[in-house]
Amino acid sequence: MVGVMKWERGKKRGEEEEEETRRGGKEERRGRRKENKEGRKEEEKQKEEEGKQRAAATPVTVLCTSVELQSNRAAGHRVTALDMASCGADTKPLDQVHSIVHYHQPLTDFMASIAAHGRVVLVGHSFGGIGVSLAMERFPRTISVAIFATAMMPSLMFRRLDSMMDCRATLDQGPDSSPSTFIFGPMFLASKVYQCCQPEDLTLATMLVRPGKPFGEDMSREIMVSEENYGSVSRVYIVSKEDELMKEDFQHWIIENNPPREVREIHGSDHMPMLSKPQELCCCLLDIADRYD
């Protein structure tokens, strides 16, 4: 009995030691998990702080469309998307937009408001390139780089398209006058503008399309740029390879007549690269913004 009791005590002691060892292992693992959790929290906090610092130090990026907003903001940029007069969400009636200067007034007002607060990356798409050029002439020291995404440049007009298809124009001054307004038709949008986009993007575009003004004669009279101002700002042109509205050869003709500092290309994108190739365009914009910061 005594021997048995002694063996039982030894067995119990061994079990207690084993349990203590297991308990110690659990405590150690729990401690490591706690340290890892605290380390992750600290790392996340540090990343958040770095993001805030980067956002504070990064120029505002002004876009003429809002599709790129989320990706650019996620990268730490402060982003503003502007609608020009009587476009998008802007409520000004078209008959109150009397000139190309009036049309770009929202951009001019915005640039004037931030002129004393740092520099910006300015991005213009399509006709938005004219607005970017006007801003370059008036606010050259406020712009770190101007990006033209399959966009117009000063003194250059659209070449006549093969066919205007179902686009419509109004001739308020008589049949021999220049068009007063125009609007893209659904067939034209489908084959010339959104042909590489998702069907839902085309559907939304046909629902939201609004009449615009060509500003033909007004453009040559009002858009005067100088080498001293416009020419002092770094320019990058993004070519959209499958653009049927501003075809690739026309984009290269623009580039040859107004050589930018750098040319990028996006393959498989139509006239709306922000919809047909959004990730590629965003990566391109972010790389340019960082390069010219």
Q: Which residues are catalytic?
A: 126, 243, 271
Taking a C-beta distance cutoff of 8 angstroms, is the pair 257, 164 a contact?
no
DSSP string, 81-133: E-PPTTSTT----GGG--SHHHHTHHHHHHHHHHTTS--EEEEEETTHHHHHH
As a whole number of angstroms, the distance between CA 269 and CA 157 comes to 22
Q: Which helix (H) or strand (E) holds 284?
A: helix 278-291
Distance of CA 245 to the CA centre of its chain: 20
Calculate the CA 264 to chain-centre distance: 15
Please compute Rg for the chain using Cα positions: 30
- Tokens 């070449």 locate to 159
Query: Which residues have C-beta within 8 Å of that of residue 223, sequence separation ≥ 6?
Result: 100, 130, 133, 134, 154, 155
Alpha-carbon distances, residue 141 vs 81, 111, 124, 145, 209 (angstroms)? 21, 11, 18, 10, 35
Tokens at 91, concatenated: 């409520």
